[in-house]
Structure 1
Amino acid sequence: MFHCPFCGASARIRTSKAANDTGTIRYKYYQCNNLECSATFSTMESVHRIIGQPQLIFHDKDIPRETMRKSHQGRSQLTLQLEDCGMALKPVHYARVPFG
């Protein structure tokens, strides 16, 4: 969350768009929550540093991509090997969270 550069109040993201083809840079457009100010401004969010890289180990068990929502498919997420991470796999339940 960014604060308004003029009055310091919190600001909300109104929209965003990708700035490159790989999705590592985004432009975000904000509006100040202070009704007396209501300034609009944009920021640029980017990947600053890679802290941990995924293991690129492929296995025979594939999850059909068409069974997952497009927003959950990601890029090459299905190739991550989860059996060797030492944690028991639990079913994941996704909650619907409103945006905005």
Structure 2
Amino acid sequence: MIQRNAALRQETAQISTVGQLTVANGGAITHLANSSARSFLINLSVTGDFDLQAGATIAAGGLGYAGGNGDVNGFGPGPGVANNVGGGGA
């Protein structure tokens, strides 16, 4: 059971198997942030009951591939592409 103000944070891309899982109000399931590779994700197999109670969360927002900085392309499938445009005048 994941209690209030506690989290299950997966630090792998491998599947984690549990018999049953309850996430209480204020509890969370998440994973570590990725950067240039798909190293971390929420990958659970619950063979029994799974109870996500009101107020509990499963959150992965902002934990995907890193974006590029400045004139560097982003990472992952469908990355953002850097572009520089210059101009001049007389």
Name the TM tier (shorter chain).
under 0.3
Relative contact order, higher structure (CA 8 A, sep 6+) = 2
Structure number having the greater helix percentage = 1
Q: TM-score, normalised by structure 1?
A: 0.18
